[in-house]
Amino acid sequence: MTNLEWLLNGDYAIKRLTKKYLFDEKLAYSNQGFIERYLNLYDATTKLWGNGHYGPKWISTNYTLLELKYLEIDPNNLIYQESLINYLDYYFTKYINKSGILSMDLCLSGMFINLLSYGKINDNRLNLILDYVLDKTMPDGAWNCMWNHDSKPKISSVHTTINVLEGLQEYINHGYIYRIEEVKESVETAINTLLERNLIYKKGTQNLIHQSMAKHHYPPRWKYDYLRILEFLAKKSYPYGPEIKPAMEILLNSMKNGRLTKGTTIPGKIHFQLETEIYGRFNTLRAYIVLKRYSPIEYENIINKAII
């Protein structure tokens, strides 16, 4: 069995994503596999997962919707649409309408933009969130959810930035036009901010921002790591440059016989175990998406390599 055959031997959702991203096949949406299992856990009465909106982590509606998006559920799926609008209604009623948009966490703002854009939701509240995000860009060109903290940070946070970047890119991908040129410019500026840190280093050094930057996670939740930003750039077809090399070296050094482990677990409740093997198909697929873009010769060698 080759590494590619092993990947295709996984859950239906993995097989579909593999064919889409590695074979460039255009495939219909499907609820089979993990997607169906998540949908079966939905409470139609409360319109929630995990009996909560943002918490408990990681079984709440927010994080379940993100997992369904990672698996690329049909964006028009009725449960996805219903639960997302219910979540948006709740958040605005409980927080924004009472305390104003400035009370909104920027990481969560990015997640909302991501989920709403993927669902092709046309709602003025999306514009309000977008205004907030664009208005609260840090002086270095990216974002920090602690912008209004007493510590008065002057630089961006990679965690906040990746959540906002993913949201803004999804907004671009789905053809929204409100402030679109500013959104595109903000994405490019924020990417440059990360590249100035070689994606994973403290600016001006070769020291990791944090040791967790060199570890991979799936699902990534709200956290930034080398693989998450590489996958983002690869899917955006961002051109390779020397600033990307340190993260690529971590990726290649992390692969064992052409595969990645299922990664470090971020503590919290889960709906069910996605993977039980040492090696993880989700992270391996993400690695292949990156390699296909930035190291195609290595990619071809790895996917056709027999598993030992």
Q: What is the mean pLDDT of residues 207-212?
A: 97
Question: Is residue 163 pLDDT above 80, yes or no?
Answer: yes
Q: Give the per-residue pLDDT at 129.
A: 98
Q: Tell me which long-range contacts 82-91 makes (C-beta under 8 A, separation of at least 24).
A: 82/47, 83/42, 83/47, 83/48, 83/49, 84/115, 84/116, 84/119, 84/121, 85/121, 85/123, 86/47, 86/48, 86/61, 87/53, 87/61, 87/62, 88/112, 88/116, 88/121, 88/123, 88/125, 90/53, 91/53
The average pLDDT across 143-160 equals: 94
Q: Confidence class of residue 152 from pLDDT cuts 50, 70 and 90?
A: confident
The DSSP code for 14 is: H
- What gap in Å lies between CA 161 and CA 147, rounded to an integer? 12
Q: What is the pLDDT of residues 269-297, one digit of tens each?
A: 999 999 999 999 999 999 999 999 999 99
Average pLDDT across the chain, whole number: 97
At residue 265, the pLDDT reads 86
Mean pLDDT, residues 181-196 = 98
